[in-house]
Amino acid sequence: MNIAEHKLNLFRQIDDLPEESLIELEKIVSQLRVNKKPTSKRQIGCMKGVLVFMADDFDAPLDDFKEYM
């Protein structure tokens, strides 16, 4: 199914909704549009130097999980 078919299917489903549901759907769609944040590309190495300490036993098994091992 291409995007045009998806849109047509969505419009058909919206046409069949009762009026109360249309109001709720409108609120949901407006929230989706407001919450859409612009995305930026990640840059390689942007966190370099942030982690300055890691414990020597970082990879050691945890005592809490001994019964599962």
Q: What are 21-62's pLDDT values in tens digits?
A: 999 999 888 888 877 676 778 888 888 888 788 888 889 988
* Structure confidence at residue 9 (pLDDT): 93
Higher pLDDT, 1 or 63: 63
Q: With contact defined as beta carbons under 8 Å apart, do 61 and 69 qualify? A: yes
List, in order, residues 6 or more apart from 43 with CB less than 8 Å away.
none
Q: 0.85 exceeded by the pTM?
A: no
What pLDDT does residue 4 have?
92
Distance, in Å, from the CA atom of 46 to the CA atom of 42, rounded to the nearest integer, reads 8
Q: Kindly state the tokens that stand for 21.
A: 């549901």
pLDDT category, 13, cuts 50, 70, 90?
very high
Query: Which of 2, 10, 46, 1 lies closest to 28, judged by CA?
Result: 10
